[in-house]
Structure 1
Amino acid sequence: MLGQLLLGAGGTPLYTLGTAFIDDSVPKHKSSLYIGTGYAMSLLGPAIGFVLGGQLLNIYIDIQIPESTKLDQDDPRWLGAWWIPFLACSFAIWLLIIPFLCFPKHLPGTTKIQAEEISETHNDGSAALAENQNIGKSFKDFPVALLILLKNPVLMSLIIASSSEALVATGFATFLPKFIENQFGETSSFSATLGGLVLVPAAALGQIISGILVSKCKMDCKSIIKFMMGTCSVALLCNSLVLFAKCGNEPFAGVSETYNGTGVLYGLTAPCNADCRCLRSMSYPICGRDEVQNFSPCFAGCASHLFNNMKKTYHNCSCIGNPKRKSDSEDFFL
């Protein structure tokens, strides 16, 4: 929590003061291109983090797995080495502080660029009020300055739109890998890599394309707002389709169906595993050759298992029914 707090405190100026620094230092028709590229890089970074971090999840958290412990990535007790990227990124961030400190307060030519700019802000008299009363020179003026910003309809609309977009994007970026892992039975490494490759680069590409379009078409403030409303409306329609996308639940022995015709629903114990003394606290979901999930190998009545290329295969499972496919003739399941 402390690390995330420090990261947020150090990274926030890049999105606030950094954007204003770029806008004040480059010509108007090029600022959108620079800002779009900057935001695209801020999105491309998490994508690279997802991919590299996903690969590091193939390594066990203690680096060396004890010989007495036989764990594979399919085991629910497996924990990836999540701490390695944090150490590497913290070292890289400290190195980047040095070039950031070398930036001047104003880039060469900034004064000329600012003199040629024409204000397109919402004219409600707040700018004249702030100039006449010298608002913004000290921290005591913060409540008044905040009230002026809250009364600006254009700014508040942009803030609400940005917050709504971040709400959707953050939810996808945070929970998509875990959804892929649970829904399709993939490893945490593959899920994180796939989530990073699919989700984040598309958003970064959108930032670059929008910056190029605004720059090449030389859009003014009103045109940019119309462009944002159009693209956000299309994004809203596309994101709404996700609400109707779902995968059906796989059959689960003892929950949605019985154990090969024995036992009762909503009961994990059946005649085929009554003598196994299985623990309900140890969840290790596995799928049998009859394409039915089981709470654990014990509840599936498995008597033995073998390791093959770090994959565990269970044999002699008394609660597993006949295979649904004719090709599945062997008496085992994974």
Structure 2
Amino acid sequence: MTHQIKLTHQDLRWVGAWWLGFLVASGLLFLTALPYLFFPRSMTRESEDDEDNVVESGPDGKQQQTDPVQEVSLLRFLKSFPCIALRTLRSPVYLLVVLAQVNLAALLSGLATFMAKFIERQFSQTVSLSIMMIGGVCIPLAVLGTVLGGVLMRRMNLSVSGAAKLCTAAILLCSLSSMPLLFIGCPTQRISGVFPPRSPCHAGCIAIETGSNNDFTVRNSNYTGCRCVGGLGSASPGTCGSGCSGLLLPFVALLGLTSFVASFSQTPSYMMILRTVPTEDKSFAVGVQFMLFRVLGESPSAA
């Protein structure tokens, strides 16, 4: 007879449908990618750039507009790659903005990787609730802050200097709003064999009782013969809990505020890069930027 092991969300061995989020995200990405199939092969430039275009006659006798910055062959690109890389990396504005974004990406990647586990252990919450707190509060506020940062930059018609000031103000406010997060929480629980002296978390039980009629339900398990519980003699599975559960809402509120303020710097920083890099180097500069994100920002912090 096969015994069915039943777990609850409070059990430490609970995993849940971890694959469901990947299916939903991939489905949404597929739907948003469909409109790209209806774009034309080539698009006309804006009217303000018409004077920079050269009019040529095509094979059919019709006049066509050609861009002076034409696509080069792969061989020519490989030959000019060192010069383009050196010219891009020698730009002080580009280099400083990318390094600042790398540091911010490292911070956000570390928070996204370990914040759910921190909330789970620090405030005695389930894994699903911890993830919902981050996904339901921090991410929407970060998206809203990114959009509002772009709107603010467009309405105020900020220059490169103004965008730099906006980014600096956003990061300073983010640092101020995140400082209280360091002081919200409880001290680490004392566990026998790890943090002496001995505590009820290490009960020292020698026997276990399960539910009747071969039902190995975790919530019906009861540990007996416990020598370190202080006269009770029995213990239940699970964490010992903490006295910080009431601080969860202030912690999440400050975390959401920090995400909202920090995201104000995203759009101005991108615009600073696009405005300070020459037109023929923009695609290369953006590629190097995302490469540094992955190599220096996200990979080490998530390891």
Match of 2:22 in 1: 86
Deviations 1:113-168 (A, max 9, x none): 4469xxxxxxxxxxxxxx9xx99963321211110011111111110111111111
1:293 matched to 2:201: yes
Give the structure-1-normalised TM-score. Answer: 0.53
Q: How many Å separate the matches in 1 of 2:50 and 2:225? A: 80
- Once the two structures are superposed, the pairs formed by residues 205-244 of structure 1 within 5 Å of their partners are 205-244=144-183
Q: Distance in 2 between matches of 1:113 and 1:189?
A: 52
Alpha-carbon spacing, 1:241–1:153, altered in 2? closer, same or farther (3 Å): farther
Q: Pick from 201, 206, 229: which aligns with 1:320? A: 229
Q: Answer 1 or 2: which has greater helix percent.
A: 2
Find 1:102's aligned residue among 26, 38, 43. Answer: 38
Residue 102 of structure 2 is aligned to residue 163 of structure 1: yes
Report if the CA contact (8 A) 2:210-2:221 is conserved. yes
Deviation for aligned residue 1:72: 3.0
Moved more, 300-309 or 189-198: 300-309
Unaligned runs of 5+ in 2: 52-68, 238-303
Aligned to 1:112: 47
SS of match in other structure, 2:163: helix
Equivalents in 1 of 2:11, 2:21: separation in Å? 22
Contact 1:180/1:186 (<8 A) preserved: yes
| Residue type of the alignment partner of 1:230 | A
* 1:45-76 deviation digits (Å, cap 9, x = unpaired): xxxxxxxxxxxxxxxxxxxxx74323333333
Distance 1:105 1:158, change over 3 A: farther
Query: Separation in 2 of the partners of 1:300 and 1:113?
Result: 80
Give the deviation of 1:311 after TM superposition: 3.2
CA contact (8 A) 1:135 1:145 kept: no
For structure 1, the residue ranges without an aligned partner over 5 or more in a row are 1-65, 117-130, 261-291, 324-329
1:139-150 aligned within 5 A: 139-150=78-89
Give the RMSD, CA atoms, in angstroms: 3.7
The match for 1:202 among 137, 141, 145 is 141
Farther off after superposition, 225-234 or 150-159: 225-234
Count of residues in correspondence between the two structures = 213
SS of match in other structure, 1:205 = helix
Instruction: Name 1:327's counterpart in structure 2.
Output: none
Separation (CA, whole Å) in 1 of partners of 2:197 and 2:152: 59
Asked if 1 retains the 8 angstrom alpha-carbon contact of 2:190 and 2:197, the reply is no
Distance 1:149 1:135 in 2: 20
Structure 1 residues 144 and 300 mapped into 2: Cα distance closer, same or farther (>3 Å)? same
Percent sequence identity over matched residues?
27
Q: Is the 8 A contact 1:74 1:187 kept in 2?
A: yes
State the distance in 1 between where 2:150 and 2:7 align: 48
Q: Evaluate the alpha carbon distance shift between residue 321 and residue 101 of structure 1 in structure 2; reply closer, same or farther with a 3 A threshold.
A: same
1:69 equivalent to 2:30? Answer no
Match of 1:304 in 2: 209
Distance 1:312 1:300, change over 3 A: same
